[in-house]
Chain A
């Protein structure tokens, strides 16, 4: 029950030989001052706190949690957009901070991102057809004559008719259409890894399935590794092979998505599932009342022991003393809880 075998199992998972992109116990801390800049107390905000994960080719991993849980920051660490305060991120086995020259360019080309807010990540003065063609030019070295038809094919692939959309400016598109431009743009560089931050939350149900199907195809047919950051467990159920549940900077549950959704071990995962609406009025009122009350505590002011205990419906005295580690609780899942549902870590006392 010590931390050693646990740390080992986590390390071994992150160190899978076929992992494309992996994070090894990464952390991302920010210094924030409370009150006056000069005299206020300085505090450390641990946005991401010792997280390990690995993405293998053809695998779709979902990262779920509420806003403020550190999901997007973890995505930024993996993309090399923010330096980790501790730990390291590796691509094809090499530390990304050590990459130089061609190796660095390859990492930047092969690891692409689809941002959540495409309203601000697209140049407002550039036609979206050109926005998609740019990476073809810079990353693949195609000239304008070759890039045009390729850009059209990419627009078509994401379900936007090239003839109609090629010349449009971002403000002339709906949020969902811009989101798809974001994906087309990421696909232009022929990536091996795509990190998609809330790729479908702005989309209508009918378009959402189209996008999810496209992502599934990318993974299964082209072996692209996908990390889908989302707060929608419906998306996880639909496409993810594996799911990581994040709460205040830590992974609190991890496992095969079917297993985690069917038998959530961590009370936080259970609460997220209970809060997801079901499209069936006959079952109204059958799901558990939402266990979660209020907002998560501030990341600068974490409670001692388990960080979920202030909102946990099952917290016990021991939870205030000991911080739970991520340990395997069943064949397909691990949870960071002293009293996981159906777990064999610690028997719940009567």
Chain B
């Protein structure tokens, strides 16, 4: 599969009153055409910031992608002009957010809101037909009737489908979905995940799925990146990651999912995600996960920040950023902690 999106060494900085904070610190990842990739981690790990950087759509001007490269369909997104961005955003790259009601105009029928995407990208004819076609694609009953409804007349799941329809209006190559089903009922979530999977097969749509729900990742992603404190700490195919997680953080996250059968022991990783580091404060002096890690040792974990290193042997795709992941692979590192 050809690489659609390639992010290299991306940094996102926040200009705070007392200096610059680095929220995303040297993140690299790839999404191939037609592939569904998961980006997981706790809140505050920099997942959403990474998504904002991909669209150059930060909620405040104090945030900016300060270094790195984002290549999408062979173009360098970091050097696009504002005009070129307008042609790109919503057309080749589209995004869906967590809260469907916050992104819909309450005073405009939803059909017109979907049409806006089409019109703003220069489409003049057949707009209404295309809107109905999109609603039908999202498996909404009676597209013509739904198109005339206002957001408050729709359920949460229907609103999320409308937003996905708007995002797909111009047939983008990549859909970035930030917690698309977190606010929805499980039954509705299952329906939307099924529709997204069918769209991927039908339209060859690639997807970057940002979520903290490992269940959703296991259901729908082919590859996964695990993010912690602004960095990617592990990546592997979904099958490999869930079967043989290597980084202590990934292992902790998996252990803290609620077991499907029986009543397992409730587990949580002790401590919290650290606050962002200051930009340019010299080389980080330790592994970011060390304060919460049961396997951390003063040397080397306390001395250097580990880089993402490809797994030896196993599968060529997997990589983790842990000095001791090889040593501790067989041990139950989280046993007896974190209750």
Q: Residues on A close to B: CB < 8 A?
A: 66-67, 174, 176, 204-210, 212-213, 216, 231-235, 237-239, 258, 271-272, 274-282, 284, 289-290, 292-295
Whether B266 lies near A282 (C-beta < 8 A) is: no
What per-residue 1/0 map shows which CB atoms of B215-255 lie under 8 Å from chain A? 11111010000000000000000110011000000001110
Residues of B within 8 A of A174 (CB): 43-44
In the complex the two chains form, what is the Cα distance from A133 to B116 in whole Å? 50
Whether B214 lies near A279 (C-beta < 8 A) is: yes
Whether A204 lies near B42 (C-beta < 8 A) is: yes
Most A CB within 10 A of own CB, among B44, B190, B215:
B190
Given contacts A207-B268, A234-B258, A282-B242, 18 further A-B contacts (CB under 8 A): A66-B187, A205-B212, A205-B257, A206-B268, A206-B269, A237-B263, A238-B264, A258-B263, A276-B186, A278-B218, A279-B257, A280-B218, A281-B219, A282-B243, A284-B218, A290-B190, A292-B191, A295-B155
B339 within 8 A of A: yes
Whether A66 lies near B185 (C-beta < 8 A) is: yes
In the complex the two chains form, what is the Cα distance from A176 to B188 in whole Å? 23
Beta-carbon contacts under 8 Å, B177-220 to A: 185-191, 193-194, 212-219
Please give the distance in Å from A62's CB to the nearest CB on chain B: 12
B302 within 8 A of A: no
A281 in contact with B258 given A206-B269, A238-B266, A275-B186 (CB within 8 Å): no
In the complex the two chains form, what is the Cα distance from A272 to B189 in whole Å? 11
User: Which of B155, B215, B266 makes the CB contact (< 8 A) with A277?
Assistant: B215
Please give the distance in Å from A214's CB to the nearest CB on chain B: 10
B26 within 8 A of A: no
In the complex the two chains form, what is the Cα distance from A205 to B242 in whole Å? 16
User: Which of B188, B256, B259, B339 makes the CB contact (< 8 A) with A237?
Assistant: B259
B68 within 8 A of A: no
In the complex the two chains form, what is the Cα distance from A16 to B242 in whole Å? 45
Residues of A within 8 A of B141 (CB): 294
On chain B, the number of residues with a Cβ less than 8 Å from chain A's Cβ atoms is: 46
B150 within 8 A of A: no
In the complex the two chains form, what is the Cα distance from A294 to B139 in whole Å? 10
A205 in contact with B214 given A237-B259, A238-B266 (CB within 8 Å): yes
Residues of B within 8 A of A213 (CB): 266, 268, 339
Please give the distance in Å from B292's CB to the nearest CB on chain A: 9
Which of chain B's residues has its CB closest to A205's CB? B256
Which of chain B's residues has its CB closest to A268's CB? B187
Whether B258 lies near A238 (C-beta < 8 A) is: yes
Main SS of chain A's interface residues?
helix
Most A CB within 10 A of own CB, among B156, B215, B256, B260:
B260
In the complex the two chains form, what is the Cα distance from A276 to B218 in whole Å? 12
Please give the distance in Å from B41's CB to the nearest CB on chain A: 9
In the complex the two chains form, what is the Cα distance from A231 to B186 in whole Å? 7
Please give the distance in Å from B169's CB to the nearest CB on chain A: 24
Whether B242 lies near A281 (C-beta < 8 A) is: yes
Most B CB within 10 A of own CB, among A66, A207, A233, A279:
A279
Whether B187 lies near A272 (C-beta < 8 A) is: yes
Beta-carbon contacts under 8 Å, B114-164 to A: 141, 155-158
What per-residue 1/0 map shows which CB atoms of B163-178 lie under 8 Å from chain A? 0000000000000000
Residues of A within 8 A of B257 (CB): 205, 234, 279
Residues of A within 8 A of B268 (CB): 205-210, 213
Residues of B within 8 A of A258 (CB): 262-263
In the complex the two chains form, what is the Cα distance from A222 to B263 in whole Å? 21
B267 within 8 A of A: yes
Beta-carbon contacts under 8 Å, B292-327 to A: none
Please give the distance in Å from A145's CB to the nearest CB on chain B: 30
What per-residue 1/0 map shows which CB atoms of B73-100 lie under 8 Å from chain A? 0000000000000000000000000000
In the complex the two chains form, what is the Cα distance from A90 to B187 in whole Å? 34
Residues of A within 8 A of B190 (CB): 274-275, 277, 290, 292
In the complex the two chains form, what is the Cα distance from A274 to B155 in whole Å? 21
Please give the distance in Å from B102's CB to the nearest CB on chain A: 13
Residues of B within 8 A of A216 (CB): 266
User: Which of A206, A279, A294 makes the CB contact (< 8 A) with B242?
Assistant: A279
User: Which of A208, A209, A278, A279 makes the CB contact (< 8 A) with B254?
Assistant: A279
Whether A231 lies near B252 (C-beta < 8 A) is: no
A204 in contact with B185 given A67-B156, A213-B266, A278-B218 (CB within 8 Å): no
Whether B158 lies near A295 (C-beta < 8 A) is: yes
Whether B267 lies near A209 (C-beta < 8 A) is: yes
Which of chain B's residues has its CB closest to A289's CB? B194
Which of chain A's residues has its CB closest to B238's CB? A281
Residues of B within 8 A of A207 (CB): 42, 268
Whether B218 lies near A279 (C-beta < 8 A) is: yes
Whether A235 lies near B218 (C-beta < 8 A) is: no
Residues of B within 8 A of A232 (CB): 186
A278 in contact with B260 given A174-B43, A206-B253, A209-B266 (CB within 8 Å): yes
In the complex the two chains form, what is the Cα distance from A238 to B266 in whole Å? 7
In the complex the two chains form, what is the Cα distance from A347 to B193 in whole Å? 36
What are 13 contact pairs spanning A and B, CB under 8 A? A67-B156, A206-B253, A207-B42, A208-B256, A213-B266, A233-B186, A234-B215, A278-B215, A282-B242, A284-B218, A290-B187, A290-B190, A295-B158
In the complex the two chains form, what is the Cα distance from A280 to B257 in whole Å? 11
Which of chain A's residues has its CB closest to B269's CB? A206
Whether B263 lies near A278 (C-beta < 8 A) is: no
Whether A277 lies near B213 (C-beta < 8 A) is: yes
